[in-house]
């Protein structure tokens, strides 16, 4: 079969020859109604009958894998798509380095693999749940469409993980697939597994920050899993990364456009001081210090997703050949990491200090460091826009010890520069670093829908180009 082409004949589009795999096909068909019920209950609120100009994967050929058309979201063809197999691929790291990749789950690593697949799977529906109320306050039809594109693709990523569970993990996999539809973001009794996925996404600036920062964690984790010696996981993640790129585009350009609207309005009104918050807000745009606070919040929440600084889980997963480093295949070392060290920021004698730790135990940190580098590239592009307007303000990522709930720094309070604060100081100064109730209230007051083609809310600039090269007045969503 031609792996690049996707079979659209059955209920579940796929390029994994589901038609010849009766057991898995039946299992997925049985899971399908529960998924659609979940989508109808927890997916975008109020737009299920609207026609949305969405891309759907029709191939896994990197040169042309998607087609665009109007679709009602519940009719979106969620499918199972794996990147093509690389012939002769070998396990790239760990104790099995150089052995042929596994096509079945090795018994000894079953529990570890299942846990990773379940955690990855859990984040996908969680983000859809977090974003379900945003449609009603979209700043434009263009943005509304992008939100829904992200949502349907996160739904597809859930399918990707559920396929792995159903195909390779027997009864346990089936139970885990069910549980993925039962947990709910923010629910007191059955929350999603990782902290950041139980937070609210209350407004569009949060959505853009989330897709910039948290989807980028998704990219890093998927890149690490794409290196896996378990080939079906690697191929699944490789194709997910193709879709993920658009999500980060939505985040990066979204925040850029917010910054641009602010800078343009300030220039027009002759306001030079970015800290003149009251005057800037009167212009119907979001002041730069508040944008900084939102970045502080979403960056710090996302850092928690990298787990503990020193992690036996991470060491075991690497040693086993299950989860690699960011772009492991491009790194030039022995890919075993035994006896080597990696510098990790830790809390030693009450001070934040760099300590050399065994490289295997420090893998979460290595991935987090790569993540911070990647974030800074995007932040640099935001700052370029501010500089082009001649405004003296620079957005900075806060220190990694700031506002943490997982790992070394969960036990302390620190400011955005990494200076430790006592509880009283923290309480007093919290509003300097993180959005205050007043900031939240102001942002909320701006969140009014703008559903006329080619019109944008005051607080966000129009995009440079349309999706699928459509002209500015294109009706990206036909609201029903
Ligand atoms: N919240 O040894 P440690 C995405 C737990 S985003 C709650 O450091 P490890 C997306 C941990 O589970 C990417 N608990 O853990 C983005 C463990 O508990 P148990 C999602 C946490 O395994 C936007 C214990 O603490 N994918 O795709 O080294 C939209 C010890 O911790 C947290 C993945 O994350 C936390 N934040 O690292 C849509 C990839 N952190 O098992 C989608 C798969 C740690 O001892 N996951 N704990 O009871 C992993 O690779 C790892 O499990 C983690 C944690 C990086 C999450």
User: Please, which residues have CB within 8 angstroms of residue 113's CB and are 6 or more apart in sequence?
Assistant: 105, 230, 233, 322
pLDDT digits (tens, 9 = 90+) for 442-458: 999 999 999 999 999 99
Question: Residue of the nearest CA to atom 25 in ligand 1?
Answer: 307
- Burial of 115 (C-beta count, 10 Å sphere; 0-12/13-18/19+): middle
Closest listed residue to residue 302, CA positions, set 245, 365, 217, 219: 217
Distance from residue 308's CA to the centre of ligand 1 (Å): 9
Q: Which of 307, 310, 315, 367, when mutated, tests ligand 1's pocket best, judged by the most ligand atoms within 8 Å of its CB? A: 307
pLDDT for residue 4: 65
Yes or no: say if 274 and 288 are a contact pair by the CB < 8 Å rule.
yes
What ranges in 108-169 are assigned the alpha helix state H? Answer: 110-130, 141-168
DSSP structure string for 18-63 = GGG-HHHHHHHHHHHHHHHHHHHHHSSTT-TTSEEEEEEE-B--TT
Closest listed residue to residue 27, CA positions, set 235, 231, 172, 240: 172
Distance from residue 120's CA to the centre of ligand 1 (Å): 8
Yes or no: say if 413 and 422 are a contact pair by the CB < 8 Å rule.
yes
* Atom of ligand 1 lying closest to residue 115 CA: 52
Yes or no: say if 185 and 130 are a contact pair by the CB < 8 Å rule.
yes
State in Å, rounded, how far the first CA of the chain is from the last one: 40
Residues lower than pLDDT 50 in the chain: 1
pLDDT for residue 58: 84
Yes or no: say if 153 and 247 are a contact pair by the CB < 8 Å rule.
yes
């Amino acid at each position: 079969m031609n792996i690049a082409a996707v079979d659209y004949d059955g209920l579940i589009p796929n390029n994994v020859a589901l038609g010849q795999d009766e057991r898995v096909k039946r299992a997925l068909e049985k899971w399908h109604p529960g998924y659609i019920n979940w989508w109808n209950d927890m997916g975008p609120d109020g737009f299920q009958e609207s026609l949305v100009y969405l891309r759907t994967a029709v191939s896994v050929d990197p040169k042309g894998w998607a087609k665009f058309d109007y679709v009602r979201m519940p009719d979106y063809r969620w499918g199972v798509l794996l990147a093509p197999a690389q012939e002769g691929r070998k396990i790239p790291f760990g104790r099995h380095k150089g052995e042929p990749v596994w096509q079945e789950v090795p018994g000894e690593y079953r529990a570890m693999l299942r846990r990773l697949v379940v955690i990855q799977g859990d984040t996908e529906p969680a983000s859809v749940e977090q974003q379900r109320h945003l449609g009603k306050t979209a700043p434009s039809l263009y943005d509304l469409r992008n939100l829904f594109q992200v949502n349907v693709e996160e739904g597809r990523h859930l399918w990707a993980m559920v396929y792995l569970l159903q195909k390779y993990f027997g009864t346990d996999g089936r139970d885990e697939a069910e549980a993925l539809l039962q947990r709910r973001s923010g629910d007191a009794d059955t929350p999603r597994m990782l902290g950041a996925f139980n937070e609210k996404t209350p407004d569009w600036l949060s959505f853009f920050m989330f897709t910039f920062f948290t989807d980028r964690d998704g990219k890093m984790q998927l890149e690490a899993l794409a290196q896996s010696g378990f080939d079906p996981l690697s191929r699944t993640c490789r194709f997910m990364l193709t879709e993920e790129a658009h999500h980060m585009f939505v985040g990066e350009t979204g925040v850029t456009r917010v910054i641009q609207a602010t800078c343009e309005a300030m220039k027009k009104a002759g306001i030079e001081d970015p800290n003149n918050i009251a005057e800037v807000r009167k212009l119907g745009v979001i002041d730069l210090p508040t944008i900084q606070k939102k970045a502080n919040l979403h960056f710090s929440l996302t850092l928690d997703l990298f787990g503990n600084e020193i992690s036996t889980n991470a060491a075991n997963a690497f040693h086993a050949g299950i989860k690699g480093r960011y772009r492991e295949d491009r790194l030039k070392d022995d890919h075993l990491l035994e006896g080597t060290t990696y510098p990790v920021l830790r809390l030693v004698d009450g001070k934040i200090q760099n300590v050399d730790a065994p490289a295997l135990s420090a893998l979460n940190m290595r991935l987090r460091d790569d993540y911070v580098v990647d974030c800074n590239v995007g932040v640099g592009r935001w700052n370029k826009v501010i500089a082009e307007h001649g405004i003296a303000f620079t957005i900075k990522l806060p220190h990694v010890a700031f506002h943490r709930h997982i790992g070394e720094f969960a036990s302390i309070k620190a400011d955005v520069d990494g200076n430790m604060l006592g509880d009283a100081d923290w309480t007093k100064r919290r509003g300097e670093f993180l959005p205050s109730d007043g900031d939240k209230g102001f942002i909320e007051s701006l969140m009014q829908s703008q559903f006329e083609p080619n019109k944008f809310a005051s607080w966000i600039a129009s995009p440079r180009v349309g999706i699928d090269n459509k002209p500015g007045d294109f009706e990206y969503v036909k609201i029903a």
